[in-house]
Every structure is written in C-alpha cells, then in structure tokens.
Structure 1
Amino acid sequence: MRLKNAKLDGDPLKSIDKPSPMTKPIRFDLPDLKLFAAVATAGSLSKGAASLPLALSAASSRLRQLEHRLGLHLFTRHAGGVRLTPAGETLLEHAQRILRAAQDAQQAMNCLNGEQQESLRLYANTTANSTVLPGLLGRFLVDRPYVNVALVECPSREVTLAVERGEADLGVIDSGFEPPGLLTLPMRHYRLAVLVAPQHALAQQAVVSFRELTQHDLVGLPEASAMQGFLKKMASLAGVDLHIRARAPSFAAIARLVASGVGAAVVPESTGLDYRDTMGLALVPLSDEWAGRELKLCLRPWESQPTTVRELAAFLSGLD
C-alpha cells in the first residue's frame, strides 16, 4: 500500500510503504518525537529544525523515517509551512506527554543526585500570607530540599497579572477574583471577624453585624487590596459608608493601630486569634453570611506546568 502527498517546506517526502505490524513494530525515540513536536509547534520544518537546532536535511530525513515506521503521513504542506494531519494531531498529544514525562524523570533524578536546585516564584495576597500559606509552604519545603521558593506579597489583582505574564509560577488570590485564561483551584476557607481594643464598645459583644460595625471608626488595608475592595462592595450593597481612619500595609500594623484605640478592623479570624492572644485584643465574629471567604490558587494551564509547580499546587489545594 502506498501513501502519497506530503511535503515539508518544499522538501518532498517520498511515498511511504505502509509496513506490516508483524514485521515493522512501531518504535519511537525521544529525539524524533522532540523534532516532530517542534515542527508541529512551529508549523514549519525549517523553523522547527532550527529551534533544536538541527540541520534541515537531517530533520527531513528523521521525519521521513518516523512516518515510514508509522505508515502514516503526519504533515501536509500549505503556503506558509506545514500543518498536522489527523494522525499527526493524535501523535502530538501523545508525544507531548512522553516528552514531559521524560523531562520530569530526568529532573527527578537530577534532584536526587543533588545536581539541580529548583526555584519557584509564589505570589500571594496579604490574607494568605498572614494565615495558612506559611505553614503549608513550610511543610512542602521540608520534604523537598532541592526546591527554593521566593514568596512575594501583593494584592490579588497584581497576583493574577504576575501569573498571566509568567512572572509568577503560582498565585494565591481572594475568591472574588476569577481571572480569565488561568486555572483556579480552591485552597482554604476562612472567616472574617472584627478585631477591637479591650475598651472598645464592641469588645464585649458575642457577635456583630457588618451594618453595626460601620457605625464605628475603622482601620483597613490599602484600597488596592482584595479584602478592602470586598468590604467596600459589601458596604455599597448594604447602603452604608465605611469610615476608614487609617490604612496599613499588613495585619500586624493594623493590630497595633487597633491596640492604640484608632478603630476596629476586619481581619481573618485565625489571624485575629493570634493578636487576641499575644496583644490582649478582643475578637468578635461577624454575623453576616458573606463573612465566610475562600482563598484560591491560580496558575497557567496545568499541562504546561513543570512537575514541581504541579506538586505545589496539588499540595496547597489538598489534591495530593
């Protein structure tokens, strides 16, 4: 049986005899699959070969041999280069998985031999950094001495932009953000509560509603923070105003302002418990249903991520 009609950037592929599966077993090797994937991605034999780099004649010969072993044409020629045939599309899906698995295996062996250190960039908002993230990250790193993490704190909106631009490998954001084009995974739930000085009018209450809280002076995060934006939105929906007397860049600074009697502050409950116990402040639960919040992970498409990024994402989201 003869297969016809394929050219790669002007380099015609010869007709290929379809081998019998009994006499010509299918064989793949990593260099051939790497070349095939490079040409498929570039849409051009010459560009794909140059990206490796590999001489054009050698690339053409390798692909002809691969097609011969398969008994199938993988590309068809068009004015701008080449495009995948249905068989080529199927092979590309498998080739990408094989190449990724090979890379992961080599990386794992390098790490075990102490030959390679991996550096990850994790961007997270203030809430994540002041609650569950440091503890979780610590447990992840203890078991992986070859991994180093640069932890950067910034508002959720900046976190998503950093992930989109490739400046961050992984981000932790508030549940109010659903960045298009990024994968999001649930991380942890938390509740909001009100932190006040012991002498504050709300200090002895069992619970407080948000509407009642807005009748008092407040201490908050910067306006660009996700939590502050969320509280502003809740105030607008309730038809009330927020009287922010002071803004601070961290919950630690907010707690000191609260202790000085400047005002009350809405903080994650777990964070507030620490300041209650260490600074003698009072912590009052918010009664509103929306006080239950969620942190989420965001990252670029899962299939494109290195093994360690996927491991960290699975660990932080509880998927491992």
Structure 2
Amino acid sequence: MTKPQRFDLTDLRVLIAVAEAGSLSRAAAALPLALSAVSSRLRQLEDRLDLALFERHAGGVRPTAAGEALLEHARRILRAAHDAQAAMDGLAGQRREQLKLWANTTANSTVLPAALGRFLAEHPYLDVTLVERPSREVAQAVERGEADLGVIDGGYESPGLVVLPLGRYRLAVLAPPGHALAAGPDCSFRELTRHPLVGLPDGSAMQRFVEHMAALAGLELHVRARAPSFAAIARLVLGGAGVALVPESTGQGYRDAMGLALVALSDDWAERELKICVREWASLTPTVRALAGFLAGLD
C-alpha cells in the first residue's frame, strides 16, 4: 500500500529557503512568511518524516545529511512543477513565460544586451529578469535552478553544467586624458602594471583572471580602488584614481562620452571568451533551449 505524501510544495519552498538563508528568520523574510509559520512548517515536516533535516547552531542552521538529500529532490520537484504550470498556461492560452537570466558584469556590458534584445523582439510572450552577479554565483544559481540559464567568463570552470559559446571580447586600457599610457596606440600588460589600477571586486572572474596573469608573469598589481561596475570604474579613472582594464567595446562608449583614452592591450591573452551555462539539456524547457541556442548561434 502506498504511503501518504508527507510534504507539499510549500514545505519544499520553506526547506530550500531555510537551507539557502542559513537561518529561519532570514528565510521567513525572503519567502515572505511569518517566522512562526516557517518554524512550524519545518518542525511538522521533520515530525512527519521522522528525520532531523537541520542542525541548529549559534549562527543559525545547516542541513543534515537527510536535509541535503531532500533538498536535491525538492529543487527538482519545484522545477518540474514550474514547467508543468508553464505548459498548462500555454494550453489555456496564457502565453506569457518568465525566465531568469544571470550574467556577469562583462557580459552585461558587451554582447549580451543586444543579442537578448533581438530574441525578445521575436518572442513577445516572454519576459526575462536579468540579474548581474560574478561568474561563480551565476554558475551556482544555474546549478540550484535559481536561474534558468547564465553567462559566465570563459575561464571559469563549471563541470556540472552544459556550456555553450556566446562571444569573444578584447581587453583594452582605459586611461584619463594626458596619462602616460594614453599617448601610444597600444601597451603591454607589463607596462600597465607600472601604474595604479582601478579594478573589479575580488569575486569577479575577470579580475581573478587579470591577477592570475600577473602572478604568472611575476608582476605585482597596485589596485588602488575596486568598483562593482564598469561605469563606476570609468568615473574613478576620469577622476585620476588610476587606469583600468575593460572590454574594448565597453571602453569605446566611455571614451566617446567622457573623453577618456582607450589603448589596446598588446598581449595575446587579451582576447577573452564568454560562455552560456545551462543544466542538463534534456531537462530544459523549450523556451530556455531556444534562448540558449539563439545566444550561442545554433539556430
């Protein structure tokens, strides 16, 4: 005889929220639900399963082995429920779909917006939420099912995901007018490291790549300031904080709008790649597959 089901979709959403937030109060705020409701649901779920799903500690909670096992199933079940609802909405004539696309700063300032705009123009029923995060967080969100697809730096490894090419970009040096580097048509990375720099935050894949290349060459970087976006970096460069490495196409906009100098980086590795990442291809909805294929130039 089949045993009765011991949880529902709301239980699974609470389980995931608590695991990701690391505390009941933060999970309650994120859902949003009353703290008492989150605590009660979690306690009743553990009682029905006769298993401890979380360990309590001074800083919050962490999943037990049983909790980790249920989390994997919960994420898969909620993705399936979302897909089922989307399919039924389509049959009912409710054609609008919602997708979450996470991308790193470089993608959002270079090739992604124009390509995404073309796809949306051809798919008027589709709404996309675009979230900007470092490549590591993008890949993790795709793995968890929090993002439908992501765009990451080509140098970032994501073994659990399917990876497709998106496009290439070249790094160039953004400098204030009159700076020593502004006079030449190009400069080497070695020359660049002799000057104070403005960079992206530590979590950025592009910044880690630049620092890795400096370490390989035995060079030291003097990063005077770090900023979360290329727009903020350009303002710091204009103010005289230092020079910066930016995608060439992005730098052209700041050169034209702000009068900054843009100088080619002569090193061979200055050409970089962006990649699309998705979960297992067979598990994707038709729309996610269509968008990933469009961005990768497969259709």
Matched with 1:110 is: 90
Q: Is the contact between residue 89 and residue 95 of structure 2 (CA under 8 Å) also seen in structure 1?
A: no
Q: Map of 1:64-83 to 2, 5 A cutoff?
A: none
Q: 1:214 aligns with which of 193, 198, 202?
A: 193
Cα distance in 2 for residues equivalent to 1:311 and 1:158: 23
Q: Map of 1:83-122 to 2, 5 A cutoff?
A: 107=87, 110=90, 114-122=93-101
Matched with 1:244 is: 223
Cα distance in 2 for residues equivalent to 1:107 and 1:316: 23
Q: Is the contact between residue 174 and residue 295 of structure 1 (CA under 8 Å) also seen in structure 2?
A: yes
* Structure 1 runs of 4+ with >4 Å offset: 106-109
Q: In the alignment, does 2:112 pair up with 1:133?
A: yes
Deviation at 1:199, TM superposition (A): 1.2
Q: 2:131 aligns with which of 122, 129, 152?
A: 152
Cα distance in 2 for residues equivalent to 1:120 and 1:208: 42
Q: Structure 2: where are the runs of 5+ without partners? A: 4-79
Give the superposed CA RMSD: 2.4
Q: Structure 1: where are the runs of 5+ without partners? A: 1-8, 10-45, 48-99
Cα distance in 1 for residues equivalent to 2:109 and 2:240: 22
Q: Map of 1:167-182 to 2, 5 A cutoff?
A: 167-182=146-161
Label 1:116 to 1:196 Cα distance change in 2 as closer, same or farther (>3 A): same
Superimposed CA distance per residue, residues 3-45 of structure 1 (whole angstroms, 9 cap, x where no aligned partner): xxxxxx9xxxxxxxxxxxxxxxxxxxxxxxxxxxxxxxxxxxx
Q: Is the contact between residue 194 and residue 264 of structure 1 (CA under 8 Å) also seen in structure 2?
A: yes
Cα distance in 2 for residues equivalent to 1:270 and 1:114: 41
Matched with 1:202 is: 181
Write the letter of the residue equivalent to 1:281. Answer: L
Matched with 1:31 is: none
TM-score, length-scaled by structure 1 = 0.66
Deviation at 1:144, TM superposition (A): 1.0
Look up the SS of the partner of 1:123 in the other structure.
strand
Write the letter of the residue equivalent to 1:135. Answer: A
Write the letter of the residue equivalent to 2:106. Answer: T
Write the letter of the residue equivalent to 1:117. Answer: R
Deviation at 1:109, TM superposition (A): 9.4
Write the letter of the residue equivalent to 1:316. Answer: L
Q: Map of 1:1-320 to 2, 5 A cutoff?
A: 107=87, 110=90, 114-320=93-299
Cα distance in 2 for residues equivalent to 1:134 and 1:185: 17
Superimposed CA distance per residue, residues 61-117 of structure 1 (whole angstroms, 9 cap, x where no aligned partner): xxxxxxxxxxxxxxxxxxxxxxxxxxxxxxxxxxxxxxx9xx99x949938x85131
Cα distance in 2 for residues equivalent to 1:305 and 1:209: 43
Label 1:109 to 1:168 Cα distance change in 2 as closer, same or farther (>3 A): closer
Larger C-alpha radius of gyration, 1 or 2? 1
Structure with greater helix share of residues = 2
Identity %: 65
| Count of residues paired in the alignment | 224
TM-score, length-scaled by structure 2 = 0.70
Q: Is the contact between residue 188 and residue 294 of structure 1 (CA under 8 Å) also seen in structure 2?
A: yes
Look up the SS of the partner of 2:295 in the other structure.
helix
Q: Is the contact between residue 175 and residue 260 of structure 2 (CA under 8 Å) also seen in structure 1?
A: yes
